Structure 1
Amino acid sequence: MDFITSFLQERWYIILLAIVILFVVVRIVKTVIKWVIVLAILAGLYFYGASYKDQLLNIGATVTTEVKNQAIKVVSNEMKDAQYKQNADGSYTVTTKSLKVDGKPGASEVTVTFMNQTFTMKLDDMLKALIEQAKTNKAT
């Protein structure tokens, strides 16, 4: 339902244009064709709005991928300064200047906070190396 609000806010001029065209058609055309044209305009507006939802989803996926890529770059650059902390509940937290990784030993996913955005990532080789480096930094 959020895509409808976004569509109305960002594409209000299309809806206004459709309303104006509908007014003109209803005033000028006096036959059954009038209602065919009205239905065609409404159907076009509906399908245009439905495709707008797909555009929003694609933008969201692109942004998420970019944030994850940036987080991986930060991990490789800040690995030497990583700090490891064992929490009371058995979980651990690894922090750097701009990244925070929370996880549980043996789990295949961790929660990453980067640029005030929190998301879940699979525990890949890069994150495992960060955790091991943080443990090493703690020991020294």
Structure 2
Amino acid sequence: MELDFLVSFLQERWFIIVGAIVVLFLVVRILKTVVKWVIVLAVLAGLFFYGASYKDQLLDIGAAVSTEAKNQAVKAFSNEMKEAQYKQNSDGTFTVTTKSLKLDGNPSSNEVKVTFMNQTFTMKMDEAVNALIEQAKKNTKL
């Protein structure tokens, strides 16, 4: 996870790092005193704290995207209930499919794995999910 953050930071904020390297190069070339090393440490500390706040921003954005994907999946549940299909798997689990989403779950669990728009996440079994499963069972018996 930490490596993903670092790669993302480097890809999206490379110009900050290049600027810091240029400043460090100029400081090391021009200044010949202890002040030089104080400035070098200050620039490095600034980069560190800037990167740390960037990580928090990524986490906030990731949470917002996840919440929005779950909200869109619930909307798709209600729109696609009429065509949902239920399948009982040999291992005791079930799969519900519609044209844009897929639910995989275990009847003894209170969570289902939802695949929506090529993204997979886990949702709690709430009223909307239970309604989709029940409707899919009815559709499959027809």
Q: Give the TM-score, by structure 1 length.
A: 0.93
Tell me how far 1:33 sits from its aligned partner.
1.3
**Cα shift at 1:6:** 1.5
1:84 alignment partner AA: Y
Q: 1:31 is matched by which residue type in structure 2? A: T
Structure 2 gaps of 5+ residues are none
Give identity over the alignment, percent: 73
Residue identity matched to 1:103: G
Instruction: Give the aligned partner of residue 78 of structure 2.
Output: 76
Report 1:79-118 matches (<5 A).
79-118=81-120
* 1:130 to partner: Cα distance: 0.5
- SS in structure 2 opposite 1:69? helix
Comparing 58-67 and 122-131, the one that deviates more:
58-67
Deviation at 1:40, TM superposition (A): 0.5
Task: Measure how far apart 1:56 and its partner are.
Answer: 1.5
- Work out the CA distance in 2 between the residues paired with 1:2 and 1:85: 37
1:15 is matched with 17
Letter in 2 for 1:87: N
For residue 94 of structure 1, give the secondary structure of its aligned residue in structure 2.
Answer: strand
Cα offset, 1:28, TM superposition: 2.0
Counterparts of 1:67 and 1:55, CA distance in 2: 18
Query: What SS is found at the alignment partner of 1:112?
Result: strand
Shift of 1:139: 2.5
Task: Specify every segment of 5 or more residues in structure 1 that has no aligned partner in the other structure, as ranges.
Answer: none
| Cα offset, 1:111, TM superposition | 0.9
Partner residue, 1:130: 132
2:68 corresponding residue in structure 1: 66
Instruction: Give distance in 2, aligned partners of 1:23 and 1:92.
Output: 61
Residue in 1 that maps onto 2:50: 48
Aligned-pair Cα RMSD in Å: 1.2
Moved more, 19-28 or 114-123: 19-28
Tell me the distance in 2 between the aligned counterparts of 1:105 and 1:5.
40
